[in-house]
Amino acid sequence: MSRGQIVQFCAKQWNLQNRQADEYIQRARIRLEEDAAMTRPSWIAEALGRLRTYEQSAYKRGQTQVALNSVQLQAKLIGLEI
C-alpha cells in the first residue's frame, strides 16, 4: 500500500493522526530491513522450528503423511537426504 493509503487506513481503523501513522510505517520499515538482513543459519533455524510445529500438529490430527513430509523437509534443510 502507498503511504497515503496506510495513513488513511490508520485514521479510519484506529483514529491515528498522520504523524503517528508515519512513525508506525518507519518502525515497520526497520523491521523489514532487519528481516531481510537475516543470516542463512538464522533463517534455517526459524524454518526448522516452523516445520517441527507443523509436524507435531499434523501428528496430533492423525495426518501422518503431512508429519512425514515435514520430517523429510527438516532433514533436507540440514543436509540429510532420506
Query: 69-78, pLDDT tens digit by residue?
Result: 999 999 998 9
Q: Is residue 54 part of a domain?
A: yes
Share of the chain above pLDDT 70, in %: 99
Question: Which phi and psi (to 5°) does residue 2 adopt?
Answer: -80, 165
Instruction: Give the chain's domain count.
Output: 2
- Is the pLDDT reported for residue 81 higher than 80? no
Share of the chain above pLDDT 90, in %: 78
* CB within 8 Å of 82: residues ≥ 6 apart: 71, 72, 75, 76
What is the pLDDT averaged over residues 6-14?
A: 96
Residues 44 and 73 in one domain: yes
Q: Is residue 82 part of a domain?
A: no
Question: How confident is the prediction for the chain on average, in pLDDT?
Answer: 92
pTM: 0.55
